[in-house]
Amino acid sequence: MRVALLVTEYSNNRAMMQASLVKIHSLIRRRYEEAVMERVALAALGRQVSRVALGTWSMGGWMWGGADERSARATIERALEMGIDVIDTAPVYGFGLSERLVGEVLESLGVRERVVIATKCGLVWDERQEPWRDSSPESIRREVVASLERLKTSWIDLYQVHWPDESTPIEETAAAIQELVDEGLVRAVAVCNYTAEQVDRFARACRLDAVQLRLNLFERANLPVFEHAHERGMLTMAYSPLARGLLTGSMRPDVEPSDAARRAPMYHGELYRRHLAAVEQLDAWAREQHGRRVTHLAARWLLDQPSVSMILWGARKPEHLDAIDGVWGFALEEDDFERIDAILDEALG
């Protein structure tokens, strides 16, 4: 009798788990269909994709003080529920961890076909987890095989060279990537952190579909490269849109960041306090003018740049994605851009 009861209980629990999984699948599919977020064409894939991509650097833990795998998985699931269908990752993010988490979640939910995986090559590491740049053809071949295994997929939608490698001619790197495209392992190609001249060199040797660089309200040096790539019909992706948390409005002047990801001068000392003062002024103006917060304003400043196609929204916890809904439903006009610049000029000099 006891054995029969245990079998019955097991069967009931299994049925409940299967029903929950079906419910999750249904929810994700419905959110894909009903998502209100803006979309942009990724021409090389022949599809429209969300203008916000999920960034997975921080959830890998490297330079961010460690990882929480349970929270990371929940964050990926939450992004999918919101209608985000581009996930940006890289082998070096957690030294394989971020890619593995992405692959496991997409496989468990059965939504691989619906999601654009954008991963990278060109940063490798040793047994001490010390990374260095290597964009040689031999290294790229090893990296793509490892990434495909971790991501549990037979193809990569968007393959990106992470950083320029001075020891390898750009033409050799581009030719190696083109081979992967020809073999069907890679469907679209991008470069990250390249100058305009490097972008052109790469594009002469391999079809180049996208570029990714750092860009936000405080760090604008790469804007000319965005414009250069946009003029050539490439998708443009902005990483660090919230300046690694500085533009969220949640950081305090008496608590400076201690993680390795935020070692730049603007996260410390007097410069840090001046940037936070600017954030406070921007937040007040955003609330008064648009009924939004500084996070929404910072994202909108990027999305309303003619040369910016997409922003990468980094997150470690599901709640880090909550502000995305407030990015939609308003736009910045020329007067808004001028007022933002005036606030920054006054606060930062």
Residue numbers of the chain with a pLDDT score lower than 70: 1-35, 60-67, 258, 260-261
The answer to whether the CB of 247 falls within 8 A of the CB of 232 is no
Task: Tell me the whole-structure pTM to 2 decimals.
Answer: 0.87
In a domain, 250, yes or no: no
Question: How many Cβ atoms are within 10 Å of 291's Cβ, its own excluded?
Answer: 11
DSSP per-residue codes, 121-135 = ESEEE-TT--EEE--
**Number of domains within the chain:** 1
The pLDDT, as a whole number, for residue 27 is 53
Q: How many CA atoms lie within 13 A of 275 on its CB side?
A: 26
The pLDDT, as a whole number, for residue 243 is 93
Domain ranges, residue 172? 38-245+307-327
In a domain, 273, yes or no: no
The pLDDT, as a whole number, for residue 142 is 97
CA distance from start to end of the chain: 80
The pLDDT, as a whole number, for residue 61 is 53
The length of the chain in residues reads 349
The pLDDT, as a whole number, for residue 80 is 97
The answer to whether the CB of 86 falls within 8 A of the CB of 156 is no
The pLDDT, as a whole number, for residue 20 is 53
The pLDDT, as a whole number, for residue 126 is 85
Show which residues are catalytic: 93
In a domain, 287, yes or no: no
The pLDDT, as a whole number, for residue 95 is 86
3-state helix, strand, coil in the chain (%, to 5): 55, 15, 30
The pLDDT, as a whole number, for residue 345 is 95
In a domain, 152, yes or no: yes
> Amino acid letter at 30?
R
Separation between Cα atoms, residue 97 and residue 109, nearest integer Å:
18
The answer to whether the CB of 89 falls within 8 A of the CB of 58 is no
The pLDDT, as a whole number, for residue 263 is 76
- What CATH number has the domain bearing residue 173? 3.20.20.100
In a domain, 19, yes or no: no
